[in-house]
Amino acid sequence: MNFVTVADIKRSGFSVLEAALARGPVHLMKRNRPSAVLLSPSDYDLLVQQARRNAVAPVNAGLDILLAQDSASEGLSASAMHARLTEMGESWGER
């Protein structure tokens, strides 16, 4: 990976970023932790185009997933919903 620290930027200015971008995406580090990723405009445009192609349908929310599991068969009653949520809540302690 291509890393640049905030200290490098303070010492050398923008030129250190330009040199790093020539090698690909730049991972910016602040206090030895990843802080951001810097992309060239062409890499960014490619990423946006790929995201648009992959975004065919929105991701279902948790409630939508719960409802979809039973809606095809018998429907999800309030008591069945409560039972399923209780069951799911009990398993959270195991994670």
| Residue ranges with strand state E in the chain | 3-5, 26-30, 33-38
In this prediction, residue 61 carries a pLDDT of 59
In this prediction, residue 92 carries a pLDDT of 59
pTM recorded for the entire structure: 0.51
Q: What is the DSSP code (8-state) at residue 80?
A: H
Average the pLDDT over 62-90 and give the result: 63
Per-residue pLDDT tens over the stretch 34-64: 889 999 999 999 988 888 887 765 555 566 6
Per-residue pLDDT tens over the stretch 1-37: 789 998 899 999 989 999 999 999 999 988 888 889 9
